[in-house]
Structure 1
Amino acid sequence: MRTRTLVVAGYGMAAARLVEEMLAGDPEGRWRLVVVGEEPRAAYDRVALSSLLGGATPEDLALAGPEVTADPRLELRPGTTVTGVNRAARTVTCDDGTVIGYDALVFATGSRPFVPPVDGHDLPGCFVYRTVEDVDAIRAAAVPGRPAVVVGGGLLGLEAAGGLRSLGMRPRVVELAPWLMAQQIDEGGGRFLAEAVGRLGVRVHCSSRLGAVGAGPDGRVDRVELADGTALEAALVVFAAGVRPRDELAGPAGLARGERGGFLVDAWCRTADERVYAVGECAAVEGRCHGLAAPGFRMAETVAGQLLGTAAGPFPGADASAELKLLGVRMAGFGDAHAREPGAVEYVQEDRRAGVYAKVVLAADGRTLLGGVLAGDTSAYPTLRSLTGRELPASPEELLTPQS
């Protein structure tokens, strides 16, 4: 039996799940895995990055233990980047000059932080929030008591703001959308979240476009200028305004990209080349990229199933439902949280004194649950999420009443 070679370009969270699935499902060693990772360490939990600012170590975030990294079926090449692909010869070339042959190739190159191309975006004191090294640099530059600005009011931006606050800085959040976490929650939930984090000392500027980043006499960043002329003092700026898929190898390899970037793949995560796949944030599944960890895990399982012949199904699509704790504030969004379905009916329950906000979205029949948002108290989330798409067994008021 000939051992085949799987080359994985990238070693982030989706790649880690792919490696885990391949090793667990291939005890006979039919596949040899070569994983080429740009970062100097094995895969880690990027979702928990902010915990590094609270005392956690990179080892605490590691996704692969010695039983994985020391497996003889696996060759890890950290600190190395795939720079070219020859699909005719079925080889990849790395930045150290190494050429590796493959029977199957999986792109798991992830994404890069988006930095708005405004004047001063690259001044000393400006950072992105993506890797362990980024967090180390932010920690080294933080000055307790001084103001900082986070550009981006999504999940990553709020995590960054929480991290800066834990370092003793006074963070402000600048967000282009009308409210925080606009992709996951509705306007009411976003307003609740802004008020809650404001009470913790994090000031929020929504509907605000970044104009420029200014420098002080020493050449380091000292302010952020908004498009409306407002100037915010800042000893440090963190860009957390979204990501862009790392798909720069697609064009040279003759592979199609999605309309908004990413390696274009079908529901089985296959490119037009049957030997080449893509998973995670760099994959445009049927044209759409997914920026969360859970969809990447599902993509990895889909690819592993095909390579191992275990008949795993196609990528089932992304469930954007999430329960989070941001700056101590519990939030949850699920299903059609924005009531986009025609005829949808919204039921809102808010008690500012108690610090809770809840909304459920019902279909036009007034009975079928489509989605919702919970803030402050998310105890009803498991029940409501399980009921999404089904007729409610009780009134929204009853389902939203905290269980004693």
Structure 2
Amino acid sequence: MNRTQRTLVVAGYGMAAHRLVEELRSLDTAGAWRIVVLAEERHPAYDRVALSSYLDGRSAADLTLAAPGFLDDPLIDLRLGTAVASVDRAGRSVVTASGEVVGYDALVLATGSRPFVPPVPGHDLPGCHVYRSLDDLDAIRGAAVPGRPGVVIGGGLLGLEAANALRLLGMEPHVVELAPRLMPVQVDAAGGGVLGRRVEEQGLRVHCGTATAAVEAGPDGRAAAVALADGTSLEAAVVVFSAGVRPRDELAAAAGLATGERGGFLVDGLCRTGDGRIWAIGECAAVEGRCHGLAAPGYRMASSVARQLLDLPADPFGEADLSTRLKLLGVEVASFGDAQASSAGAVELSRLDETAGTYAKLVLAADCRTLLGGILVGDARAYGEIRPFVGRGLPAAGHRLLAPAT
């Protein structure tokens, strides 16, 4: 028995929390830490990035992140369905929703985020759902009516994933996006135009540049239609809100922990809160005031904190890599670096092939030599060759990408 063993409590068990536990157990060869994981969900950590595949034949077990036998580790105490209700910093303990008190020597907050549901009339009617967890997808599966229309509110990355989920369930999906194009964070106007046309070819009906005015009930009291601000009414047997997320930082106020201007537990570059025994990682962490919603930044935070817990050198978080490459409804999309050309003096070079349904843009610095970022829609094969050159000279692959088709 290790008489100097300390207890780490991890509040939440999503992708970032799992990476923390995995890294700590890998590095902690002396068994200095016993890890108590308090997971609000009833499932162990799973690949939330691949959530849609749950409706395309994969099971919850297929998506589980833990390797076989990992959770049998005697130094890992995983408690599913156990949410943290409060933090007692003076007593170095947390209280669960059931009233259990769990002491800690170190605490890592990994509570993630919750879907944002715009407070439009009817948003809470039966038949309205969010798209965040396996339980959410089970609810959507149970409500789906093949052959009937469904409406997804939000045309970002998760919104298109949700629309694909409805399509997989045999429904006819509509996507409503307030911005003038789909995926407005990742792609520009031209790229959004190509993406919109390509997904409409797959059966989606896209409504951009308009707001949701209300969700309207049918005779049975369930959601039956979505009214848009432009006067359009969309029939809807199912409504899915996918309009962004908000960090889950509700533990902060009572615990006296600072939060960022836009929410999230405020932490420094090493993910430390104002309490030397408490860190925050993942989507709930406002690193230097900014939250990050992708998996890769959360993994970096997890690795840093694991090393700090063992008094090993750890690099500050620095700039987050927001690069994205994915395939939505059969359409490849990639965005990397300064994709929106926000840098002073940035130069944009692009090629649009309407016939092939592809769009490529590279963003260069004012000297026209340094690659700053880019966007690829319809064909992202060049992503792997070009992205490593961000901050460096444009590679030959970049010149080939922009060359006219022959």
- Into which bin does the TM-score normalised by the smaller protein fall? over 0.9
Match of 1:67 in 2: 69
Contact 1:380–1:402 under 8 Å retained in 2 = no
SS across alignment from 2:119: coil
SS across alignment from 1:361: strand
In 2: Cα distance, 1:71 partner to 1:401 partner? 55
2:237 partner amino acid: A
Aligned partner (choices 89, 92, 95) of residue 94 of structure 2: 92
SS across alignment from 1:237: strand
In 2: Cα distance, 1:164 partner to 1:314 partner? 41
Match of 2:7 in 1: 5
Match of 2:141 in 1: 139
Match of 1:197 in 2: 199
SS across alignment from 1:35: strand
Q: How does 1:202-281 map to 2 (within 5 A)?
A: 202-281=204-283
Residue deviations 1:72-124 (CA, integer Å, cap 9, x gap): 00001100111111111101111122111111000000000000111100111
Contact 1:380–1:400 under 8 Å retained in 2 = no
1:283 partner amino acid: A
Structure 1: state its 5+ residue gaps: none
Identity over aligned residues, as a percent?
A: 64
In 1: Cα distance, 2:222 partner to 2:355 partner? 43
2:267 partner amino acid: V
Give runs of ≥4 in structure 1 deviating > 2 Å: 393-403
1:310 offset after TM fit, Å?
2.0
Over 3 Å counting, the alpha-carbon distance change for 1:398 and 1:119 in structure 2 is same
TM-score, length basis structure 2: 0.97
Contact 1:379–1:402 under 8 Å retained in 2 = no
1:259 partner amino acid: E
Match of 2:57 in 1: 55
1:399 offset after TM fit, Å?
4.3
Contact 1:345–1:364 under 8 Å retained in 2 = yes
Match of 1:291 in 2: 293
Aligned partner (choices 341, 344, 350) of residue 342 of structure 1: 344
SS across alignment from 1:118: coil
Over 3 Å counting, the alpha-carbon distance change for 1:375 and 1:6 in structure 2 is same
Residue deviations 1:330-384 (CA, integer Å, cap 9, x gap): 0101111111111111111011112211011111111111111011111111121
Moved more, 242-251 or 58-67: 58-67
Q: How does 1:346-361 map to 2 (within 5 A)?
A: 346-361=348-363
2:383 partner amino acid: Y
Aligned partner (choices 303, 307, 310) of residue 308 of structure 1: 310
SS across alignment from 1:201: coil
Q: How does 1:357-368 map to 2 (within 5 A)?
A: 357-368=359-370
1:388 aligns with 2:396: no
In 2: Cα distance, 1:95 partner to 1:314 partner? 33
In 1: Cα distance, 2:399 partner to 2:357 partner? 17
TM-score, length basis structure 1: 0.98
In 2: Cα distance, 1:338 partner to 1:393 partner? 20
Contact 1:37–1:80 under 8 Å retained in 2 = yes
1:318 offset after TM fit, Å?
1.2
In 1: Cα distance, 2:56 partner to 2:281 partner? 31
In 1: Cα distance, 2:48 partner to 2:325 partner? 17
Match of 2:82 in 1: 80
1:188 offset after TM fit, Å?
1.1
In 2: Cα distance, 1:394 partner to 1:347 partner? 15
In 2: Cα distance, 1:267 partner to 1:367 partner? 31
Residue deviations 1:246-301 (CA, integer Å, cap 9, x gap): 00000000000000000000000000101000000000000000011111111000
Contact 2:385–2:397 under 8 Å retained in 1 = no
1:370 aligns with 2:372: yes
Moved more, 11-20 or 394-403: 394-403
1:23 aligns with 2:33: no
Match of 1:332 in 2: 334
Contact 1:295–1:317 under 8 Å retained in 2 = no
Moved more, 344-353 or 282-291: 344-353
Moved more, 179-188 or 298-307: 179-188
Match of 1:111 in 2: 113
Contact 1:370–1:389 under 8 Å retained in 2 = yes
Please report the RMSD computed on the Cα atoms of aligned residues, expressed in angstroms: 1.5
1:186 offset after TM fit, Å?
1.3
SS across alignment from 2:302: helix
In 1: Cα distance, 2:396 partner to 2:87 partner? 57
